[in-house]
Amino acid sequence: MAVNLASAGALLPLLVVDRYHAAWVVYAVMVVCGLSLALVDPAESALFAAMLPAELRQQVNGIRLTLQEGGKLRGHGRGLPDRPLTEEEAHRDAEHAQRQVDQVVQHGVVPVRQEPE
């Protein structure tokens, strides 16, 4: 949690970047964010290992990675990073992800992706 808070704080300097000669601030923030990912990803894997039984761990980890990487692909298809998701789009995506995780935890199966209405 401390790493996530530090990462959030590291984003604050981006508020002062208003000209191209301050681009070094962007690179500095990118380095800090990259370092935080190097700490958070192994911790997340260890958390899943402690929380889930072995038979569900692979499925949940697969869904987590699918959502993570799929979000990168979907973002570009929606025009991101040119525009942020609307609140409705973000809420719909979060609900869909939660339904998938719930189905894996309850039934031990990987759900087939269905397009939201």
- In tens, the pLDDT along 21-69 reads 778 888 888 888 888 888 887 887 788 788 888 878 888 878 877 877 7
* Residue reference for tokens 């025009």: 79
Residues 69 and 47 in one domain: no
Predicted confidence at residue 108, as pLDDT, reads: 65
Residues 116 and 60 in one domain: yes
Residues 103 and 84 in one domain: yes
- Checking if the pLDDT of 86 tops 80, the result is no
Mean pLDDT of the chain: 75
Residues 43 and 73 in one domain: no
Confidence of residue 83 (pLDDT cuts 50, 70, 90): low
Q: How many domains does the chain have?
A: 2
Residues 42 and 61 in one domain: no
Both ends of the chain: CA-CA distance in Å? 35
